[in-house]
Structure 1
């Protein structure tokens, strides 16, 4: 069995080659921007988050705007 096989329970290594190809190649992000992204930000930019899954609703946005008003 290969390392990272589901049957062994070992975690698979993160696919950095694929992530860099998408971030630096397809999205054409500057390296400093790519490396500063969180995994959630990268997933959203790459289109990996399903529609509506991470969208803010108006009430949530209104609450955030009230809690953190622009100065």
Structure 2
């Protein structure tokens, strides 16, 4: 059995991300994947503090 591409769901996801339908149809697969890829979590406070110890700000 061949899986059908869920175009309505993909278009709805693009619209939620602020992509106009016209622009959705112009996206390359690489651009689409970048758009919907999960974002990485930011640096935790503990990780920031550890990094700040290794790379302190220079003061005048």
Q: TM-score range by the shorter chain?
A: 0.5 to 0.7
Greater Rg by CA: 2
Q: Distance in 1 between the 2:17 and 2:4 partners?
A: 23
Q: Residue 9 of structure 2 is aligned with which of 5, 10, 18?
A: 18
Unmatched runs of 5 consecutive residues or more in structure 1: 1-9, 52-71
When the two structures are superposed, what TM-score results if normalisation uses the length of structure 2? 0.53
When the two structures are superposed, what TM-score results if normalisation uses the length of structure 1? 0.46
Q: Count matched residues.
A: 40
Runs of 4+ in 1 over 4 A off after TM superposition: none
Counterparts of 1:1-71 in structure 2, within 5 Å, are 10-24=1-15, 26-47=16-37
Q: CA RMSD in A?
A: 2.0
